[in-house]
Amino acid sequence: MYEDRTLTCKDCGAEFIFTAGEQEFYAEKGFTNEPQRCKSCRSSRKNSKGDSQGSRQMYEATCAECGKTCRVPFEPRNDRPVYCSDCFANRR
Q: How far is CA 59 from CA 13, 31, 32, in A?
A: 40, 39, 40
The confidence score (pLDDT) of residue 50 equals 58
pLDDT of residue 19 exceeding 90, the answer is yes
pTM: 0.52
Q: What is the rounded CA–CA span in Å between residue 38 and residue 26? A: 15
**pLDDT of the residue at 46:** 86
Q: pLDDT for 33-77, tens place per residue?
A: 999 999 999 998 888 765 555 567 889 999 999 999 999 989 999
Give the span between the Cα atoms of 25 and 49, in whole angstroms. Answer: 24
Share of the chain above pLDDT 70, in %: 92
Across the range 13-23, mean pLDDT stands at 96
Angle at 51 between CA 46 and CA 55, to 5 degrees: 145
